[in-house]
C-alpha cells in the first residue's frame, strides 16, 4: 500500500471515532478528528502526485472514502442538519459512486475533476459550520 492510499484508508477508518465521539457528546473531539480526516483528502492527493503514486485503486477509493466520511458525519449530525440536506447528499453520492464503481468494474476508472473536488470541499465546509453551530460558535442564522 502506498502513502496516498494509506491516507484514503485512514480517512475511512476515522469515520468510526468521528461518529462515536459525536454520538457520545464529545463534540469538540469529534470535530478535531473530522477536520484531520478531511485534511487527509488533501494529503492523499498531494502524495499521489508528488511521489507519482496515482493508481486506479486510489482514484476510486479516495472518492469512496470522502463519501463515507461526509455521509456518516452528516447522518450523525441530524440533530443539527436538516434531513433534506442529508438525503440529497446521500442520494447524489450513492448514485455517482455507484456509476463510478460500475465503470471501474468494467475497466474504466473515472478520475476526480475540479467540480467534484469543489463539491467535496463545500461539503466539508458545511459540516464544519454545523460543528461550529453545535459548539455554540455560530448562530442559527448562518446555518
Query: Rounded to an integer, what distance in angstroms lies between the CA atom of residue 41 and that of residue 62?
Result: 7
Which domain range does residue 41 map to? 3-142
pTM here is: 0.89
Q: What is the total count of domains within the chain?
A: 1
Helix (H, G, I), strand (E, B) or coil at 26: coil
Query: What string of pLDDT tens digits covers the 143 residues of the chain?
Result: 899 999 999 999 999 999 999 999 999 999 999 999 999 999 998 998 898 888 878 877 888 899 999 999 999 999 999 999 999 999 998 898 788 888 878 888 777 788 888 999 999 999 999 999 999 998 775 55
Query: Rounded to an integer, what distance in angstroms lies between the CA atom of residue 33 and that of residue 65?
Result: 15
Amino acid at each position: 500500500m502506498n502513502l496516498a492510499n494509506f491516507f484514503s484508508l485512514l480517512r475511512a477508518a476515522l469515520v468510526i471515532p468521528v461518529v462515536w465521539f459525536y454520538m457520545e457528546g464529545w463534540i469538540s473531539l469529534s470535530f478535531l478528528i473530522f477536520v484531520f480526516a478531511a485534511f487527509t483528502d488533501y494529503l492523499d492527493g498531494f502524495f499521489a502526485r508528488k511521489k507519482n503514486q496515482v493508481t486506479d485503486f486510489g482514484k476510486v477509493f479516495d472518492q469512496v472514502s470522502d463519501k463515507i466520511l461526509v455521509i456518516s458525519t452528516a447522518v450523525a449530525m441530524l440533530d443539527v442538519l436538516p434531513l433534506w440536506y442529508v438525503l440529497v447528499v446521500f442520494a447524489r453520492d450513492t448514485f455517482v459512486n455507484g456509476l463510478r464503481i460500475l465503470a471501474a468494474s468494467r475497466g474504466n476508472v473515472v478520475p476526480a475533476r475540479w467540480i467534484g473536488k469543489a463539491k467535496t470541499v463545500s461539503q466539508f465546509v458545511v459540516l464544519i459550520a454545523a460543528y461550529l453551530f453545535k459548539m455554540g460558535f455560530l448562530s442559527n442564522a448562518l446555518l
